[in-house]
Structures are given as structure tokens and as C-alpha cells.
């Protein structure tokens, strides 16, 4: 009798467990859109920005003594409305131009400081605002920036900034490059394949290995990447490099050991690698000087 009772109780508990587990699984709440939108792999390497540290200008010891002027500009070009931050040498001249493109945080003080330091090297720099004034300080806010500003909207804004830069009296319209970091690196690539530029600089941005896309990229390209970047993979970078070389595009790729995504931005407190960042910036200055000051 006791054995039968024990047997029946065991069967009861097993059936109850199965039914309970199934019920729990079936009634679990569905994921919200926010939960389904996963953090882009790689950005978590950088962490959220520490804006008390203004950027590479505080790290890189520039020897330039060029005096500059800087301020906000409002652009209305062929129906595209966009704002930006422009920095340029105060002395009269005909300078090369740079369209500078921010990370997914937006046009914050760190990017403006980069425009300042590059302008002191003898460039007219227009740091374009692709997010219409929205500046993120958290990963969730940065993700919203990307969702709310798709490429079909940001490309015309970059093109408007480029046209505005070309029209400036102190800019040589035939010597203009694009430069961007992270999200801005990918946007620099997009501008490079859609417009006639003198050079394109891509810091760990989204690239392509599609030969049709890359056939449109015939200006010199500088690519800065990190071995430990989990979003822009080294094998993709090398394939990107191979295709460009085969088609005859001048390409200079540097992949840094010990560096991941966002390593060149000092406000990316988790990812920043000072030695690699300074070396990459020096290579950027050399590349721009060689290709824009001919």
C-alpha cells in the first residue's frame, strides 16, 4: 500500500511540474521593442561617454600655432536643413576642407574639440550635425539617435554640408575630405561612395565588401581599426582592403593590436587606448596633408 501511494505521489508531482513549466513558458510576456533592439555589438566596449574629458585635443600635443575662429552654422542647401560646427584659420587663404562626422552620441563637445584641433593644422572643418541637435549620454539614447535618423535622411544632410563647404570663399572646392569615427566612420564611407571627394578617413566605421559599392570609392582611403573590435571584424577590413587595392584605389589600412571599438576617443573611458589613438591621429594628419595639400 505504501509503495503504491509513493508511486502515485511521484506521478502526481512529475505531471504537476510539467504542466506548471509549460504554463509558465506559454504565459511569459513578449519582448518589448526596446528589449528586441539589442545593443550593437562593439559599442559596449566603449561604454557611455565621460564628457568631463573633452577629447583627443587634450591628449595630442599639437605644435601648430595657427589661430582659428569657430562657431555654429545653419545650412539650407537644396531643401536640406542641417546645422554644424565650423572651425577655420583666421588668416586669409584657400584651405582644404573637411566634412567631420560624429559618433552615435551626436555633435558633442568632444567632436567640436576635434574640429578645433584639425582646423589648427590648416583646414576648414565643418562638423555636421546629423541628429538635429540631439546629444546622447547613454547607450539607449544613442540607439534612439540611429533609429530616428536613417541613412536616407542623413546622406542628404552630409551632402548639404559638403555643398556648403565647397561654397565657402576660404575653401578650395577641389580639396575636400570626409572624416568620421564609429557611426561617423560608416557615414564617412557613405559620403565617399556617393560624392567626389579628395580623400576619405574611416575610424572603425561600418564598411562594405560589396564590389559594386566599392567601385564608387576611387579617392584615397585611410582606415583605422582595432583588432579587438567585435563589431567591425578584421577579416571584413582585410577584404575591404583587398578589393580596393585590386580595383586600383589608394588605400592605407591600420589595424591596432590591443584596441577595440571606440579606442581613439578619450571620452570612451572603457575603450580609449592613448598610445594607439595618438599614433592613429598622427597617421591621419600625414594622410590628409599628403592628399589635400598637393
Q: Does 230 fall in a domain?
A: yes
Shared-domain flag, residues 15 and 58: no
Residues 20 and 138 in one domain: no
Is the domain of 125 the same as that of 150? yes
Domain membership of residue 280 (yes or no) is yes
Q: What is the DSSP letter of 58?
A: G
Is there a single domain that holds both residue 142 and residue 85? yes
Asked if residue 276 is part of any domain, the answer here is: yes
Specify whether the CB–CB gap between 99 and 130 falls below 8 A: no
Mark whether 243 and 190 lie in a shared domain: yes
Q: Do residues 101 and 159 share a domain?
A: yes
Distance CA 46, CA 2 (A): 64
Same domain flag for 142 and 285? yes
77 and 21 belong to one structural domain = no
Asked whether residue 35 is assigned to any structural domain, the reply reads: no
Decide if pLDDT at 28 tops 90: no
Question: According to the model, what pLDDT value does residue 21 have?
Answer: 36
What global pTM score does this model have?
A: 0.84
Residue position matching grid coordinates 577579416: 235
Segments in the chain forming alpha helices (H)? 2-26, 33-36, 43-46, 109-119, 139-148, 151-166, 183-194, 211-214, 234-246, 274-292
- Report how far Cα 277 is from the mean position of its chain's Cα atoms: 15
- 10 and 109 assigned to the same domain: no
Q: Are residues 141 and 226 in the same domain?
A: yes
Domain that holds residue 23: 1-30
pLDDT score, position 62:
72
Instruction: Please name the residues in contact with 14: beta carbons below 8 A apart, sequence gap of 6 or more.
Output: none
Mean pLDDT of 64-76: 92
Please check whether residue 187 is in contact with residue 163, taking contact to mean a CB–CB distance below 8 angstroms.
no
180 CB burial (10 A radius; 0-12, 13-18, 19+): buried
Mean pLDDT on 267-293: 93
Tens digit of each residue's pLDDT (9 = 90 or more) over 88-123: 999 999 999 999 999 999 999 999 999 999 999 999
* Antiparallel, parallel or unpaired: β 171-181 and 199-203: parallel
For residues 18 and 57, the model is more confident at 57
Q: 101: how many CB neighbours lie within 10 A of its CB?
A: 34
Same domain for 211 and 175:
yes
Total domain count, the chain: 2
Lowest mean pLDDT segment, chosen from 37-41, 63-67, 206-210, 269-273: 37-41
In this structure, the answer to whether residues 50 and 3 fall within a common structural domain is no
Is residue 87 in some structural domain?
yes
pLDDT at residue 27 greater than cutoff 60: no
Amino acid at each position: 500500500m505504501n509503495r503504491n501511494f509513493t508511486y502515485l505521489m511521484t506521478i502526481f508531482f512529475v505531471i504537476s511540474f510539467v504542466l506548471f513549466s509549460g504554463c509558465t513558458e506559454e504565459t511569459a510576456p513578449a519582448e518589448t521593442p526596446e528589449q528586441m533592439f539589442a545593443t550593437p555589438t562593439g559599442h559596449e566596449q566603449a561604454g557611455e561617454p565621460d564628457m568631463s574629458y573633452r577629447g583627443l585635443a587634450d591628449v595630442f600635443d599639437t605644435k601648430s600655432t595657427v589661430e582659428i575662429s569657430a562657431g555654429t552654422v545653419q545650412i539650407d542647401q537644396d531643401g536640406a536643413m542641417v546645422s554644424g560646427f565650423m572651425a577655420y584659420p583666421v588668416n586669409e587663404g584657400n584651405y582644404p576642407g573637411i566634412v567631420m562626422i560624429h559618433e552615435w552620441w551626436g555633435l558633442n563637445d568632444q567632436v567640436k574639440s576635434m574640429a578645433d584641433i584639425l582646423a589648427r593644422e590648416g583646414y576648414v572643418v565643418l562638423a555636421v550635425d546629423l541628429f538635429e541637435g540631439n546629444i546622447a549620454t547613454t547607450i539607449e539614447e544613442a540607439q534612439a539617435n540611429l533609429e530616428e535618423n536613417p541613412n536616407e535622411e542623413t546622406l542628404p544632410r552630409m551632402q548639404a554640408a559638403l555643398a556648403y563647404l565647397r561654397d565657402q570663399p576660404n575653401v578650395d572646392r577641389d580639396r575636400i575630405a570626409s572624416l568620421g569615427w564609429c557611426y561617423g566612420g560608416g557615414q564617412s564611407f557613405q559620403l565617399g561612395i556617393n560624392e567626389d571627394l579628395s580623400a576619405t578617413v574611416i575610424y572603425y566605421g561600418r564598411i562594405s565588401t560589396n564590389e559594386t559599392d566599392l567601385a564608387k570609392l576611387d579617392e584615397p582611403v585611410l582606415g583605422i581599426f582595432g583588432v579587438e573590435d567585435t563589431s567591425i571584424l578584421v577579416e571584413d577590413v582585410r577584404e575591404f582592403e583587398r578589393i580596393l587595392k585590386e580595383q586600383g584605389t589608394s588605400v592605407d589600412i591600420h589595424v591596432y593590436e590591443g584596441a577595440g571599438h571606440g579606442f581613439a576617443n578619450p571620452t570612451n573611458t572603457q575603450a580609449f587606448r592613448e598610445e594607439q589613438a595618438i599614433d592613429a591621429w598622427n597617421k591621419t594628419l600625414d594622410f590628409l596633408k599628403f592628399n589635400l595639400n598637393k
